[in-house]
Amino acid sequence: MLYYGKKLVIFMISVGLLSLVTFYVSRLAPGDPLFSYYGERVEKMSPEEREWAEEKLGLNDKISVQYSRWINQVFHGNFGRSYKYKMDVLDVLKSRLGNTLLLGGTGFLIIFAGALLLGVICAWKEGGWLDKIICKAGTIISCVPEFWLALVLILVFSVSLRWLPSSGAYAVGQEKNISDRILHMILPLTVIVTEHLWYYGYMVRNKMLDEIRADYVLLAKAKGIKKSRIMLVHCMRNIMPSYLSIMAISVTHIMGGTYVAETVFSYPGIGTLAYESARYKDYNLLMIISLMSGIIIIACNMAAQILNERIDPRMRISRQSEMQEVDNYE
């Protein structure tokens, strides 16, 4: 219990630090927050009007004062209003969150299952032509920048072939049409999956190969178990703890990838929202998005750590033995 308590405290501190850093950096960066609130009108404002507007948004005070005011609000459950949308930021977030979860979640599931499948196939046919092709192709594709791949896909499939839509989450008025949604998701999903799948597949492959070389596989063979069962039951089971913890960390990578894909495809999700809010200095919105992303990242990393230590029965022991003190007289 103490163990989880400690983790929780570390978690809180990390989130606090994150909010502080984002707050300062966003405010110190150049740009005019009034622009996002008043739009074009800002350019025609007199200095007095500007001052009054800044006063109204609370932008005149020192950053530290602003920060403490913001923190105070947050503890009362109020995250402020979005300058651009003139709505509570939580409502803005809510309207976009579903789209991102759909895109990122599907991407994650495909990568999770696909990497496992690819890795096992490669390990099974180690050194065979399939293994070689998958490994080589994976290395090359992983090196292609995400936005470039996205642009090429748009050029080929939307502009030239006109098979798939190039942007948005759904056509106008087709919000509830599932097939239309899927059609809109194909290109961004392709980008997200191809950028990450190989890396994790390669990891699974190497882990599997390590396991296959282990002695217990020899014993399993000697007792008459077929290769398929050894691979799928014995080896898979042993790579699962480390795979799960790797995949917990991968959530953050995939989330980053989703944000980039969303921006390129103008997909109405958190990614585009984050981009806009940073660009137009929509402070309150920016804060909540970075906080939310940060919380997910930190939580996933912690989950990975805990998973790693808890799932494998050996880990419990090795955690103990790590604690053996080794004084080195320094």
Partner 1 sequence: MENNSLLDVQHLSHMFHLKRKMTVKAIDDVSFQIKKGEIYGLVGESGSGKSTVARCIMNIYKPSEGEIFYKGIPICKNKEFRKNRKMLQMTRQMIFQDSASSLNPRMKIEDIVAEPLRIYSGKGRPGKKEIEKQLELVGLDRSYMEKYPCELSGGQRQRVAIARALSTKPELIVADEPIASLDVSIQAQMVNLFRKLQKEQGFSFLFIAHDLSMVEFLCDRTGVMYHGKLVEEGRTKDIFAHPEHEYTKALLAAVPIPDPRIERQKGEVL
Partner 2 sequence: MRELLKTEHLSVSFFTKSGEVEAVRDVSLTVEEGEVLAIVGESGCGKSALCKSIMKLLPKTAKIKSGKILADGIDITDYTQRNMSRLRGALFSMIFQDPMTSLNPTMTIGKQIEEAVRIHNKKMPKKQVKKKVLELMQLVEIDEPEVRISQYPHEFSGGMRQRAVMAIALAGNPKILFADEPTTALDVTIQAQILDVFRRIQKKLGIATVFISHDLGVVAGVADRVAVMYAGKIVEIGTAEEIFYDPRHPYTWGLLQSLPILSRGKEWLPTLPGMPPTLIHPPKGDAFAERNAYAMRIDYEKEPPMFQVTDTHYAATWLLDERAPEVKAPIGERRYGK
Question: Minimum CB separation from partner 2 for residue 138, in Å?
Answer: 24
**Burial class (CB within 10 angstroms; exposed 0-12, middle 13-18, buried 19+) of 310:** middle
Residues lying near partner 1 in the complex (CB under 8 A) are found at: 320-321, 323-329
**Burial class (CB within 10 angstroms; exposed 0-12, middle 13-18, buried 19+) of 249:** middle
Question: Minimum CB separation from partner 2 for residue 211, in Å?
Answer: 9
Size of the site for partner 2 (CB under 8 A): 21
**Burial class (CB within 10 angstroms; exposed 0-12, middle 13-18, buried 19+) of 225:** middle
Question: Minimum CB separation from partner 2 for residue 216, in Å?
Answer: 5
CA distances from 273 to 92, 148, 210, 268, 313 (A): 9, 21, 43, 7, 43
Question: Minimum CB separation from partner 2 for residue 210, in Å?
Answer: 12
State which of residues 94, 237, 279, 319 lies at the interface with partner 2 (CB under 8 A): 237
Question: Minimum CB separation from partner 1 for residue 7, in Å?
Answer: 17
State which of residues 4, 21, 216, 279 lies at the interface with partner 2 (CB under 8 A): 216
Name the nearest CA neighbour of 306 among 245, 240, 238: 245
Establish how many alpha carbons lie within 13 A of residue 110's alpha carbon, considering only the half-sphere containing its beta carbon: 18
**Near partner 2 in 293-312, by CB under 8 A:** 312
Residue at token pair 């494998």: 312
Q: Does 223 bind partner 2 (CB under 8 A)?
A: yes
Residues 85 and 288: their CA atoms lie apart, in Å, by: 14
Cβ proximity to partner 1: between 43 and 330 the closer is: 330
Cβ proximity to partner 2: between 77 and 224 the closer is: 224
Q: Which span (1-9, 67-75, 95-103, 235-243) binds partner 2, by CB under 8 A?
A: 235-243
Cβ proximity to partner 1: between 68 and 318 the closer is: 318
Site of interaction with partner 2 (CB under 8 A) = 214-216, 218-227, 234, 237-238, 241, 312-314, 317
